[in-house]
């Protein structure tokens, strides 16, 4: 069944683009019903406009508290995705229970590390500073913690000598753009269940990791 999506962004929106491209090329059976940015003027909003997707800016700065911002976000997002999923694609705000309880187990995030390593901001720099030789990205369900919810898929990338934050971020992004649409497609195929709170995908799931994920 085609999946209704709301995508929340704060910046470049390359993951939003990966979703839009996957839909256009029939690798993802979904519709992006709404893009919400908490920052005006970002490239993600241009990408939405180019794809003909409605978008709205809801600045957290216009609200007196996190709860008030989250409550307003619910009002904006719920009509767009009554039964669909909310994707945090580079959305740089922590969402509270006010928002999460409105979409139980239906909020996904993409994070640029192999969680539970390096949660929070600038995961790529955290990995470089620590000196790990392998890092990657994770798609997970969002819970009340910071990057702590059940992990749906991960892909690994090597850290190479001479890497900078930007070269590493680009290598990770290429994998983000593969696994995020892939996970959404498995969900749209009705293959996700939670067993004792742990995600399980029925059927064949391609090996995740360094290999391309195209099916």
Catalytic positions: 111
Q: Between residues 79 and 158, which has the closer beta carbon with respect to ligand GRF?
A: 158
Instruction: List beta partners, residue 80.
Output: none
Binding-residue total with ligand GRF (CB under 6 A) = 14
What are residue 91's phi and psi, to 5 degrees? -90, 115
147 touches ligand GRF by CB under 6 A: no
Residues in Cβ contact with 117 at an 8 Å cutoff, skipping those fewer than 6 apart: 127, 132, 135
What are residue 118's phi and psi, to 5 degrees? 55, 55
Segment near ligand GRF (CB under 6 A); pick from 7-15, 25-33, 48-56, 190-198: 7-15
Q: Rounded to the nearest whole angstrom, what is the least distance from the CB of residue 12 to ligand GRF in the complex?
A: 4
Number of other residues whose CB lies within 10 A of the CB of residue 165? 14
Segment near ligand GRF (CB under 6 A); pick from 11-19, 21-29, 50-58, 68-76: 11-19
Q: What part of residues 37-66 is at the interface with ligand GRF (CB under 6 A)?
A: 44
Q: Rounded to the nearest whole angstrom, what is the least distance from the CB of residue 37 to ligand GRF in the complex?
A: 10
Residues in Cβ contact with 113 at an 8 Å cutoff, skipping those fewer than 6 apart: 119, 123, 124, 126, 127, 135, 136, 137, 138, 147
111 touches ligand GRF by CB under 6 A: yes
13 touches ligand GRF by CB under 6 A: yes
| Residue, CB closest to ligand GRF | 90
Q: Between residues 11 and 60, which has the closer beta carbon with respect to ligand GRF?
A: 11
Distances, alpha carbon 211 to alpha carbons 11, 77, 157, in Å:
27, 34, 10
Looking at residue 133, what DSSP letter applies?
Answer: S
89 touches ligand GRF by CB under 6 A: yes
CB 9, CB 16: distance < 8 Å: yes
Q: Rounded to the nearest whole angstrom, what is the least distance from the CB of residue 74 to ligand GRF in the complex?
A: 21
Q: Distance between CA atoms of 133 and 119, rounded to whole angstroms?
A: 17
Q: Rounded to the nearest whole angstrom, what is the least distance from the CB of residue 11 to ligand GRF in the complex?
A: 4
Number of other residues whose CB lies within 10 A of the CB of residue 215? 10
Q: Between residues 81 and 137, which has the closer beta carbon with respect to ligand GRF?
A: 137
Selected from 47, 69, 90, 127, the binder of ligand GRF by CB under 6 A is 90
Q: Which residues bind ligand GRF (CB under 6 A)?
A: 9, 11-15, 44, 89-90, 110-112, 173, 176
């Amino acid at each position: 069944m085609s999946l209704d999506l709301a995508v929340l962004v704060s910046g470049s929106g390359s993951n939003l683009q990966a979703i839009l491209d996957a839909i256009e090329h029939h690798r993802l059976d979904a519709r992006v019903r709404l893009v919400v940015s908490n920052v005006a003027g970002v490239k993600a909003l241009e990408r939405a406009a180019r794809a003909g997707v409605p978008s709205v800016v809801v600045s957290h700065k216009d609200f007196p508290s996190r709860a008030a911002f989250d409550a307003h976000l619910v009002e904006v997002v719920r009509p767009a995705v009554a039964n669909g999923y909310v994707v945090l694609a580079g959305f740089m705000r922590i969402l509270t229970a006010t928002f999460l309880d409105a979409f139980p187990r239906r909020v996904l995030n993409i994070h640029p590390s192999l969680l539970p390593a390096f949660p929070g901001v600038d995961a790529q720099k955290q990995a470089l500073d620590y000196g790990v030789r392998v890092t990657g990205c994770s798609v997970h369900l969002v819970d009340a913690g910071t990057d702590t919810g059940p992990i749906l898929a991960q892909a690994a990338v090597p850290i190479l000598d001479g890497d900078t934050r930007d070269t590493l971020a680009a290598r990770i992004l290429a994998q983000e753009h593969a696994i995020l649409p892939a996970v959404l497609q498995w969900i749209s195929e009705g293959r996700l269940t939670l067993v004792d709170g742990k995600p399980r995908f029925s059927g064949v799931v391609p090996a995740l990791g360094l290999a391309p994920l195209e099916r």
